[in-house]
Amino acid sequence: MIDLTWAIDPVYIATIFFFIVGLQRMSHPLTARSGIVWAGAAMLIATFVTFLTPNLTNFALMAIAIVIGGGFGYIAAKRVAMTDMPQMIALYNGMGGGAAAGISAVALLGTTNAATASLAVVGGLIGAISFAGSVIAFLKLQGLMRPRPITFTGQQFVNMAFLTLAIISGVLVVLQPSWIPLTVSIYLPLFFILSLGFGFLMTLPIGGADMPVVISMYNAFTGLAVALDGFSFATPNYAMVIAGIIVGAAGSLLTLNMARAMNRSISNVFFGAFGATEEKGIEIQGSMKSIDADDVAVMLAYANKVIIAPGYGMAVAQAQQKVKELTDLLESKGILVKFAIHPVAGRMPGHMNVLLAEAGVDYGHLFDRDEINPEFPSTDVVLVIGANDVVNPAAHRQGSPLFGMPILDVEQAINVIVLKRGQGKGFAGIENDLFYRDNTRMLYGDAQESAGKLVQALKKL
Amino acid sequence: MTNIMALWPAVYIAMLAAFTGYVVISRVPVILHTPLMSGSNFIHGIVLVGAMVALGLATTPLEQAIGFVAVILGAANVTGGYVVTERILQMFDRSGKKPGKRSLK
């Protein structure tokens, strides 16, 4: 057989090059799609060339595993609805973390080199935390688990105990001290169980509203774990090291940006148990006043400027198409229509843009929070469609759990119409003052139906 | 000590890679945050390559079992990450077909 092992490193180098170019292209809307194709092609070639690594066996197992894993990943990702993308990202990220933990485990079963083992232990710890945490994030977003924070007394203490014990057992795995009568076969599984346990526990108290930040952070974690595992081989796998570090750095930056958009610190996200406690002693004045679609249609027809503030509820109700129709109809009547996009509307930054793009709404109509906030006082009608926490004026009131979070100041508009399914609270579980304001009217019902009714009523006018 | 010395080149590489990751992401508009998170999720799918080597070098049944699971997870990370990212970015593609697009006019 011809020796092709010389090809491995050049291909890995090219892979890294295309990953970076791919990410670079993904950072601009016009070239974004080609970016993922470049990265994908590089990944495919890297996978093939890996089969040429010297001394490999178990090729049949490898092929079977790739078919099972790849088949699952492909089918699940093809079937999932756009609204459910965030939890799919969490799930695939968790799988990456799990794979990294697995590589660490295999390395630790074989190696006797303290330096390699240390890196594998750290990689295993981070990978296992990312795996367990991402699974919880997936379960919460998928609705298989209560999205509310789960808290109990002494939680921080228990979490820290788990982390400390995991680190201690990790150190024992590396040092393998002879004065302890236990063998590695005892504390290696213990190390992974404790690491996984810590990942589960630290994600439990985090509410659904904070999940984007959490998923992003676990994404960075997995990157870091992959990078560390790159050193667990006899010759370091620099493709893993570099790709992992790039994801670790990029993911960390993305996490900070997201947290900043919500005006929350990272430690607050992880230890704040956001939404678990009710604000006490605040009585909201006024009452919720409902309105029907015909009246809203009249209001819209005589408006000069309408701003639509969409939230995740719009996506859940699959109302994007109807909203797009409504937009076209209003524009045909010469009314100025804009969309106000809060950075964390939906379940992830930019999620709302993706959903609106899917419905065919043009970029030119989308404005982010800082651009649109000064325009609300001069707006005749604001339609809040399935958004709640991001338009809650409680964020301006000291003492509220939302205090300090930058919001869309829709309450400054002349009329505010809230399309809402019922009288429930938002994802963060906090009462919304906006619904009780004098200039607010509630249009109850499924967002898709309500938007459809508005279109019908407007056509009749 | 030789082990520690051998790690220094890796630290140079790690530093440059971290800087690259930071710079590439820092100018990204908010609307691309979700696809970019998904895209970087795909890129750490390179873990598949490591899982393949780990399985390929495994000798005991336990190592083989762990390696096998790791390859499954890594492969799912790669294909799932790619398909999700590609599907999201398809929405931004203005040139070709527009999925779900309906015009009233």
Q: A-chain residues within 8 Å CB-CB of B2?
A: none
- Among A210, A229, A389, A409, the active-site one is A389
Domain annotation covers residue A121? yes
Query: For residue A392, what are the contacts with CB-CB under 8 A and spacing of at least 6?
Result: A402, A407, A426, A430, A432, A433, A434
The mean pLDDT value of chain A amounts to 86
Strands A366-368 and A381-385 come out as unpaired
- Judgement on whether residues A316 and A179 belong to the same structural domain of the protein: no
Domain annotation covers residue B98? no
State the nearest Cα–Cα gap between A57 and chain B, in angstroms: 5
Nearest to A85 among B40, B82, B84 (CB): B84
Domain annotation covers residue B76? yes
- Judgement on whether residues A255 and A352 belong to the same structural domain of the protein: no
Stretch A25-45: mean pLDDT: 89
Query: For residue A45, what are the contacts with CB-CB under 8 A and spacing of at least 6?
Result: A11, A14, A15
Rounded distance between C-alpha atoms, residue A192 and residue A129, angstroms: 9
Stretch A169-183: mean pLDDT: 78
- Judgement on whether residues A383 and A450 belong to the same structural domain of the protein: yes
A382 three-state secondary structure: strand
Q: Which has more pLDDT, B103 or A109?
A: A109
- Judgement on whether residues A134 and A259 belong to the same structural domain of the protein: yes
pLDDT at res. B96? 43
Confidence of residue A147 (pLDDT cuts 50, 70, 90): confident
Interface contact A39, partner B, CB < 8 A: yes
State the nearest Cα–Cα gap between B5 and chain A, in angstroms: 11
Q: Which has more pLDDT, B103 or B30?
A: B30
ipTM above 0.90, yes or no: no
Let me know: does B104 contact A325? Beta carbons within 8 Å.
yes
State whether A43 and B78 contact (CB < 8 Å). yes
State whether B80 and A95 contact (CB < 8 Å). yes
Q: Is the pLDDT of residue A182 over 70?
A: no
pLDDT at res. B99? 42
Q: Is the pLDDT of residue A321 over 90?
A: no
Tokens read off for A206:
């985090």
Domain annotation covers residue A27? no
Domain annotation covers residue B22? yes
Q: Is the pLDDT of residue A177 over 80?
A: no
- Judgement on whether residues A301 and A263 belong to the same structural domain of the protein: no
Q: A-chain residues within 8 Å CB-CB of B41?
A: 89, 92-93, 96, 219, 222, 247
Task: Note the pTM of the prediction, 2 decimals.
Answer: 0.81
In chain B, the largest separation of any two C-alpha atoms, in whole Å, equals 74
Closest CA to A454 of A402, A385, A366, A395: A385
* Count of the separate structural domains present in chain B: 1
pLDDT at res. A271? 73
Domain annotation covers residue A21? no
State whether B105 and A332 contact (CB < 8 Å). yes
Domain annotation covers residue B103? no
Interface contact A52, partner B, CB < 8 A: no
Residue A119 CA: distances (Å) to CA of A92, A171, A231, A242, B47? 23, 11, 7, 15, 15
Q: Mean pLDDT check: name the lowest of A73-77, A137-141, A311-315, A323-327.
A: A311-315
Q: Give pLDDT tens digits for A274-292.
A: 555 545 555 566 778 888 8
* Count of the separate structural domains present in chain A: 2
pLDDT at res. A275? 52
Domain annotation covers residue A300? yes
Domain annotation covers residue A18? no
pLDDT at res. A104? 95
Q: Is the pLDDT of residue A261 over 90?
A: no
State whether A73 and B78 contact (CB < 8 Å). yes
State whether B24 and A24 contact (CB < 8 Å). yes
- Judgement on whether residues A411 and A299 belong to the same structural domain of the protein: yes
Rounded distance between C-alpha atoms, residue A211 and residue A208, angstroms: 5
Domain annotation covers residue B104? no
Q: Which has more pLDDT, A43 or B30?
A: A43
Interface contact A298, partner B, CB < 8 A: no
Residue by residue, DSSP assigns chain B as -HHHHHHHHHHHHHHHHHHHHHHHHHT--GGGHHHHHHHHHHHGGGHHHHHHHHHHH--SHHHHHHHHHHHHHHHHHHHHHHHHHHHHHHTT--SS--TT-----
Q: Is the pLDDT of residue B97 over 70?
A: no
The fraction of chain A above a pLDDT of 70, given in percent, is 92
Query: For residue A189, what are the contacts with CB-CB under 8 A and spacing of at least 6?
Result: none
A309 three-state secondary structure: strand
Stretch A23-52: mean pLDDT: 90
Confidence of residue B95 (pLDDT cuts 50, 70, 90): very low
Domain annotation covers residue B73? yes
Nearest chain A residue to B89 by CA distance is A33
Let me know: does A351 contact A85? Beta carbons within 8 Å.
yes
Confidence of residue B3 (pLDDT cuts 50, 70, 90): low
Q: Is the pLDDT of residue A272 over 90?
A: no
Domain that holds residue B77: 2-91
State whether B33 and A91 contact (CB < 8 Å). no
The answer to whether residue A389 is catalytic is yes
Confidence of residue B105 (pLDDT cuts 50, 70, 90): very low
A130 three-state secondary structure: helix
State the nearest Cα–Cα gap between B6 and chain A, in angstroms: 10
A46 burial (CB, 10 Å; 0-12 / 13-18 / 19+) is buried
Q: Which has more pLDDT, A202 or A388?
A: A202
Confidence of residue B100 (pLDDT cuts 50, 70, 90): very low
State whether A102 and B54 contact (CB < 8 Å). yes
pLDDT at res. A265? 77
Domain annotation covers residue B83? yes
Residue A432 DSSP code: -
Interface contact A82, partner B, CB < 8 A: yes
Q: Give pLDDT tens digits for A335-356.
A: 999 999 887 777 676 778 878 8
Instruction: Please provide the distance, in angstroms rounded to a whole number, between the alpha carbons at the two ends of chain A.
Output: 79
Q: Is the pLDDT of residue B104 over 50?
A: no
Alpha helices in A57-113 (DSSP H): 59-79, 85-110
pLDDT at res. B1? 43
Plot region of A145 (φ>0 → left; ψ -120 to 50 → alpha; else → beta): beta
Residue type, A406: P
> In what order do the strands lie in the sheet containing A381-385?
A366-368, A336-341, A305-310, A381-385, A415-420, A440-444
pLDDT at res. A142? 87
Q: Is the pLDDT of residue A273 over 70?
A: no
The fraction of chain A above a pLDDT of 90, given in percent, is 42
State whether B56 and A53 contact (CB < 8 Å). yes
CA angle A445, A447, A453 (to 5 degrees): 80
- Judgement on whether residues A315 and A425 belong to the same structural domain of the protein: yes
Rounded distance between C-alpha atoms, residue A91 and residue B77, angstroms: 8
Interface contact A332, partner B, CB < 8 A: yes
Stretch A139-159: mean pLDDT: 84
Long-range pairs for B28-31 at CB < 8 Å and ≥24 separation? B28/A26, B28/A27, B29/A27, B29/A29, B30/A261, B30/A341, B30/A343, B30/A349, B30/A350, B30/A353, B30/A368, B31/A29, B31/A341, B31/A350, B31/A353, B31/A354, B31/A363, B31/A366
Strands A366-368 and A336-341 come out as parallel
pLDDT at res. B102? 36
Let me know: does A216 contact A247? Beta carbons within 8 Å.
no
Q: Mean pLDDT check: name the lowest of A201-210, A326-335, A440-449.
A: A201-210
Q: Give pLDDT tens digits for B15-68.
A: 999 999 998 888 777 777 788 889 999 999 999 999 999 999 998 999 999 999
Domain annotation covers residue B65? yes
- Judgement on whether residues A238 and A327 belong to the same structural domain of the protein: no
Q: Tell me the residues of chain A between 152 and 181 that have a Cβ less than 8 Å away from chain B.
A: none
- Judgement on whether residues A442 and A297 belong to the same structural domain of the protein: yes
pLDDT at res. B93? 63
- Judgement on whether residues A235 and A337 belong to the same structural domain of the protein: no
pLDDT at res. A416? 92
Let me know: does A103 contact A123? Beta carbons within 8 Å.
yes
State the nearest Cα–Cα gap between A440 and chain B, in angstroms: 29
pLDDT at res. A425? 67
Residue type, A399: G
Rounded distance between C-alpha atoms, residue A11 and residue A445, angstroms: 56
Residue A284 DSSP code: P
Rounded distance between C-alpha atoms, residue A159 and residue A133, angstroms: 13
Domain annotation covers residue A220? yes
Q: What phi and psi, each to the nearest 5 degrees, are found at residue A439? A: -90, 10
Query: For residue A321, what are the contacts with CB-CB under 8 A and spacing of at least 6?
Result: A359, B100, B102
CATH number at residue A354: 3.40.50.1220
Domain that holds residue A420: 293-460
pLDDT at res. A284? 65
Domain annotation covers residue A9? no
- Judgement on whether residues A333 and A243 belong to the same structural domain of the protein: no
Stretch B10-17: mean pLDDT: 91
pLDDT at res. B98? 43
Q: Which has more pLDDT, B93 or A134?
A: A134
Nearest chain B residue to A80 by CA distance is B84
Domain annotation covers residue A70? no
A286 three-state secondary structure: coil
Q: Give pLDDT tens digits for B67-77.
A: 999 999 999 99
Query: For residue A160, what are the contacts with CB-CB under 8 A and spacing of at least 6?
Result: none
Let me know: does B25 contact A250? Beta carbons within 8 Å.
yes
Q: Is the pLDDT of residue A403 over 80?
A: no
- Judgement on whether residues A304 and A258 belong to the same structural domain of the protein: no
Rounded distance between C-alpha atoms, residue A23 and residue A360, angstroms: 25
Rounded distance between C-alpha atoms, residue A460 and residue A296, angstroms: 13
